[in-house]
Amino acid sequence: MPAERSGEVLVINTGSSSLKVELVPSRTKVTVERIGTTPAVLSNSREPDVILLPKGVKDHAHAFEIALGQLNELEANFKIIACGHRVVHGGERFSEPTVIDPEMLQAIDDLSSLAPLHNPGNVMGIKAALEALPAVPHVAVFDTAFHSTKPPRAYVTGLPKRFYERQRIRNYGFHGTNHDFVTARAARQLGRDRSELKIVSLHLGNGCSACAVKHGESIDSTMGFTPLAGLLMGTRPGDLDPGIMLTMLERGITVDELTEIVNRESGLKGLSGVSNDMRDIRRVAERGDEWAELAIEIFTYRCRKAIGSLTAAMDGVDAIVFTGGIGQNDPLTREEILAGLEWLGVKVDMKRNSIGMTVFSTKDSTVSALTIPADEEGLIAEQALALLWDRVVA
């Protein structure tokens, strides 16, 4: 069934522990957070207060049911013409938005081993939406798609070539939808064409990644075969010597236990012993907790190193963009990440940074520093409609 050109696209964005649904273009949004924990949190774009759900939310399917019910309370007589789904891992098979059918949904599920925190939730969200809204077309937009332009030197690993040739084990990269959006928006903010610029994009939230966008294309990123690699994250360790994991296995840790450790127990949460939320960790660090202080220091240090390496990959940099929950809302973290990078040409205007100005570098800075709010939902809706309209025209 083709999508009409007027009406709402319902965008479903399932994260590792959250689900967001948003109507585009009306931009009414409902978010369910802390899925699988007690209490869960329900919020929407119309009301300032959050609603605590003391019994929790069991899984992403349950979260979708709650979110859709909330949308119906907030909006009267809206017409959904299409659903756009954010899917984290598309492997090499999916490099562009794709209409969802049973075979394609199974392929997404088969990729869950590569993104165990995300693809299972994506699949549950899609199934719930298909059941609730069977009469509208559903389109998957993949986090990995933007990184399909990476050259082999960036995505081929150092393993024997048979692992790539037979099993497609390689570095994929993630958060591509948002890296695409924020770098395009940053270029417009600077009054430049993205095809002229070299941009380092930092997506910093519970999941974190940095991306080198050269002349409008992703040429490298910090995440790899799975969303575990690269920067320190909320519950994931980022780059880790594989010998460490081999040693853990040799000492009796099972594969299932190791999977749990590296996906849900590491990163900021594991180091601080407090939380995966930077706000909680800073409050404890302010009281002098050494591990909380160290967790923050490692986080900002990894980001600073990534800026340097990705700048080298592009032979220079024109702009550094911060996005995601931490990147766009935490001035102190931005300041700490950029501290000491004056040699690169970036200078921070402390006042502009503290009040969250879009461009917060000084006027004489040769490298611009910006904060761009994430809008994966807007881009997913745009890409879903474009695909469906192209099919109608064809």
Q: 36, exposed or middle or buried, with CB in 10 Å at 0-12, 13-18, 19+?
A: middle
- DSSP-assigned beta bridge partners for residue 201: 211, 321
Question: Given pLDDT bands bounded at 50, 70 and 90, which one contains residue 352?
Answer: very high
Question: Given pLDDT bands bounded at 50, 70 and 90, which one contains residue 392?
Answer: low
- The one-character DSSP state at 265 is I
Q: What are the pLDDT digits (tens) for 118-135? A: 888 889 889 989 988 999
C-beta neighbour count of 57 within 10 angstroms: 27
CA pair distance 211, 217, nearest whole angstrom? 10
Which of the following is catalytic: 143, 220, 330, 375?
Answer: 143
Rama region for 193: left / alpha / beta (φ>0; ψ in -120 to 50; rest): beta
DSSP 129-146: HHHH-TTS-EEEEETTGG
How is the beta sheet containing 368-371 ordered, strand by strand?
217-221, 208-214, 198-204, 319-323, 368-371
Q: How much is the pLDDT for 22? A: 96
Is the peptide bond preceding residue 39 cis, with omega within 30 degrees of 0? Answer: yes
Q: Confirm if 297 and 290 have CB atoms less than 8 A apart.
A: no
Mean pLDDT over the full length of the chain: 93
Give the rounded percent of residues in the chain with a pLDDT score beyond 70.
97
- The one-character DSSP state at 321 is E
Question: Given pLDDT bands bounded at 50, 70 and 90, which one contains residue 91?
Answer: confident
Domain ranges of the chain: 8-142, 193-371
Question: Given pLDDT bands bounded at 50, 70 and 90, which one contains residue 6?
Answer: confident
CA pair distance 62, 59, nearest whole angstrom? 5
Q: What are the pLDDT digits (tens) for 202-222? A: 999 999 999 999 999 999 999
Please tell us whether the domain made up of 193-371 is placed in CATH 3.30.420.40.
yes
Helix (H, G, I), strand (E, B) or coil at 156: coil
CA pair distance 32, 19, nearest whole angstrom? 5
CA pair distance 22, 12, nearest whole angstrom? 7
**What is the pLDDT averaged over residues 143-148?**
93
- Class (C level, CATH) for 8-142: alpha beta
DSSP 239-262: S--HHHHHHHHHTT--HHHHHHII
Who's near 342: CB < 8 A, 6+ residues apart? none
Q: Which two tokens stand for residue 310?
A: 């990705």
Intrachain domains 8-142 and 193-371 with the same fold: yes
Is 193 among the residues known to form the active site? no
Rg for the chain, CA atoms, rounded: 21
